[in-house]
A and B are shown apart, each in its own frame.
Chain A
């Protein structure tokens, strides 16, 4: 099967903050393939290069080395066609604070030259009664769900979620996971980054673990656990001092 996303030896360099003449690789030769209808997770500590990797796939960030293909399109060659077919939820993005949710969704619709049903989109993310609210009045979970609604206006084939549940309470987190599952069941490919292990295990069909700009492991959660989880500890000792006594002095009866 042809992968819907193919990253080949992706490299992103930034100048070193302390010495601008030298650079370091925030993403250092990353390759992976993601297939249609997958939920693919990129896991890693802060600064591992997860967001930069996503931004290169989304056409937001220049690719310094290697190549990226989304639905067969070279992202460097034709970022506008890629942007037409992806939906993106950025880490902690804000919106124009003088527009309400409906107006914002219509604005995003216009950016894709699409007529949209804003209320239907809001209903999908449980924000119907917030239709006339301004984004700054939303809670953290509502904001993230609204971000997803914005990412859905162009009916994308691929949805990118960058740390979608960071900072959310358990209820809001659960609700967001369910939403991601629903969208995936409806046929959407989802690529997400997270440093929440539970999230990766719960949602993702496959996981890549990134550190220092490289992928250090990639497989299904079950296989990764199989390969990398530590040996279970030996069974704890049980018994009491009588067992010790008997062990030392033998079981033979003494009359």
Chain B
């Protein structure tokens, strides 16, 4: 239970952080821009993977598949329907076009049906893709029958588990931002307070280091959770990213993660003597984790010799914990290994932070 002193201090720190409008703005501005770039650039530019299950051996069907393959807007993967449908459910395909066995040039006045499988709730580019496919079909129609409609496109909604790349990326990005905000937040404060002589003034009173550390961690935690909420809301409502799992559990993991990184920030702040030093040490701690912790791509895809290191980084536990909840709908019980990893880092961080924060060394 926090003491009256800790509560008072934490409240004051919260005031101090919240009144720093400029840094609050920038802490939100960059992540928002960052996420938006990923959302829009990736969505618009890259070819759309299209699974084609051609069950017909007619020349017409072959011509259609060839046409689609020539189009730069699609990357065509051929396969049988059951296999492609399975991939769609697991998020490895977004669209599957099924060309039925009886697909052939219909006699005049008839149309042949093609089925398009997609999870309409997930695949938000459908309104864009559908006319493109129709266009292809019309080209073939023109060649064979001079404009008369031959085909119709039926859309079959397949409920996929999740996921666009952004769905995969979001938990990673949030974990990364959580780390940056927390590490920079607490570390920067300690160095700044020391530089200004504020630490010295505080510690000429009977203030105990553990009360100081607890209060500043609590206040930063509050701020980081607010920042996380804003970013999450932006991702969910503006970018339409999906989170399958339980939000309370997602927040709980984020909270623990934030504690882990605040402690690490404190350690850095206790080591560094100047703002430049904290930037340098902070980067040494932050950047390798961004690269190695599976934020942008799975750890399995990395060279074998770095994997053992990557597996034990604090950010790795956070990313995998958040991602399993967000993408696969895992419960806390299912991510116990990640939670244990975070708990170990929390204990290490807290022990180091309170030990390294030597109050007698408070002068600049």
Contact = CB atoms under 8 A, between A and B. Distances in A.
Contacts of B5: 110-111, 113
Nearest to B5: A110
A96 interface: yes
Interface stretch (A36-44, A84-92, A167-175, A220-228): A84-92
A94 B202 CA distance: 11
A103 B198 contact: no
A210 B66 CA distance: 95
B145 interface: no
Interface stretch (B171-179, B203-211, B317-325): B203-211
A164 B9 CA distance: 27
Nearest to B9: A110
Contact of B4 (A95, A98, A110): A110
A102 B360 CA distance: 28
B204 A59 contact: yes
A62 interface: yes
A220 to B, nearest CB: 29
Interface in A60-91: 60-62, 80, 83-84, 86, 88, 90
A107 B360 CA distance: 21
A94 to B, nearest CB: 4
Interface in A146-162: 150, 154
B42 interface: no
Contacts of B208: 80
Contacts of A103: 12, 15
Contact of B202 (A92, A111, A154): A111
Given A90-B200, A96-B198, A110-B9, A80 B206 contact: yes
A211 interface: no
A58 interface: yes
Among A59, A94, A112, A150: residue with most chain B CB under 10 A: A94
Nearest to A110: B8
Range, interface on chain B: 20 to 34
Interface residues of A, number: 28
B107 to A, nearest CB: 80
Nearest to A107: B12
A108 interface: yes
Contacts of A110: 4-5, 8-9
Given A98-B20, A99-B15, A90 B204 contact: yes
Nearest to B19: A98
A103 to B, nearest CB: 7
Nearest to B195: A94
A93 interface: yes
Nearest to B196: A94
B16 A83 contact: no
Given A90-B200, A95-B198, A110-B4, A62 B9 contact: no
Interface string B184-214: 0000000001001110111111111000000
B231 to A, nearest CB: 24
A112 B9 contact: no
A108 B8 CA distance: 10
Nearest to A154: B205
Contact of B205 (A98, A106, A108): A108
A111 B200 CA distance: 13
Contacts of B8: 106-107, 110
Given A99-B15, A110-B4, A84 B9 contact: no
B160 to A, nearest CB: 48
A96 B16 contact: yes
A112 B201 contact: no
Given A92-B197, A110-B8, A99 B206 contact: no
B206 A112 contact: yes
Contacts of A84: 206
Contacts of A113: 4-5
A108 B204 CA distance: 11
Contact of A98 (B16, B193, B206, B363): B16
Interface of B: 4-5, 8-9, 12, 15-16, 19-20, 193, 196-198, 200-208, 360, 362-363
- Which 10 A-B residue pairings sit nearest by Cβ, starting from the closest? A110-B8, A98-B19, A94-B196, A111-B205, A98-B16, A93-B197, A93-B201, A83-B206, A88-B204, A80-B206
17 contacts: A60-B204, A60-B360, A80-B206, A84-B206, A88-B201, A90-B197, A90-B204, A94-B197, A96-B12, A96-B193, A98-B15, A103-B15, A107-B9, A110-B8, A111-B202, A113-B5, A150-B201
